[in-house]
Amino acid sequence: DQQVKQNSPSLSVQEGRISILNCDYTNSMFDYFLWYKKYPAEGPTFLISISSIKDKNEDGRFTVFLNKSAKHLSLHIVPSQPGDSAVYFCAASTITGKLIFGQGTTLQVKP
Amino acid sequence: NAGVTQTPKFRILKIGQSMTLQCTQDMNHNYMYWYRQDPGMGLKLIYYSVGAGITDKGEVPNGYNVSRSTTEDFPLRLELAAPSQTSVYFCASSYDLAGTTGNTGELFFGEGSRLTVL
């Protein structure tokens, strides 16, 4: 039972354009959401997070939007850069602190 | 600053063999985790620990054991290796639980250990 889903395995965008990565979840008890980025042969690294009491969080080029009624979150990267090419995982957490990850979306930013 | 260190980085096992994946962190984090990543399946939580002497099961604990005798170390043991355990294993640690006031719950990951069971 996949509680956190990233339905797009891959995404390709042109440098300078916006990248939008999507994530859906099923468990209404999730109260915290995070995005991680992963390069090949490396561990995931934290990118940005959002609490369920907010609907938007921004950090530089990265913005995460949360729509609780739709159980949907998205990560916007503006402008996209070739160095952003990586696998992006969304993750959700309950009060117990266990993070449940989605399957990941591979982003390719073309120069 | 080493962060989270995993060893070995690569290992090939025969079916039925046992081995231990080592994980150590130098950030004095209470929380530690083991995940496995299978192709196209994301990261699945195997076991986690909220402090020395305390461990609990995650999503996919079968076939694995853990112990947490110190804050720094969180080894993962495979007793009878099976082909289904072929995967990349990631150890991670965090300062606090995700969503705790003032904390993002960010996990710090090691570089991973690629295990193949033949």
Shortest distance between the Cα of B12 and any Cα of chain A, in A, equals: 17
A93:B99 CB<8 A: yes
User: With 90 as the cut, is the pLDDT of residue B77 above it?
Assistant: yes
DSSP, collapsed to helix, strand or coil, labels residue B84 as helix
Mean pLDDT over the full length of chain B: 91
Say what the pLDDT of residue A98 is. Answer: 79
Compare all CA atoms of chain B with the CA of A46 and give the residue at the minimum distance.
Answer: B106
Per the model's pLDDT, the better-predicted residue between B39 and B100 turns out to be B39
Strands (E), chain B: 4-7, 10-13, 19-25, 31-37, 43-51, 54-57, 64-66, 76-78, 87-94, 108-109, 113-117
A9 shares contact with chain B (CB less than 8 Å): yes
Mean pLDDT over residues A16-33, rounded? 94
Per the model's pLDDT, the better-predicted residue between A2 and B94 turns out to be B94
Chain A (78-97) residues lying within 8 Å, Cβ to Cβ, of chain B: 89, 91, 93, 95-97
pLDDT, tens only, B29-51: 999 999 999 987 889 999 999 89
Instruction: Name B4's Cβ contacts closer than 8 Å, sequence gap at least 6.
Output: A43, B23, B24, B25, B27, B91, B92, B93, B108, B109, B110
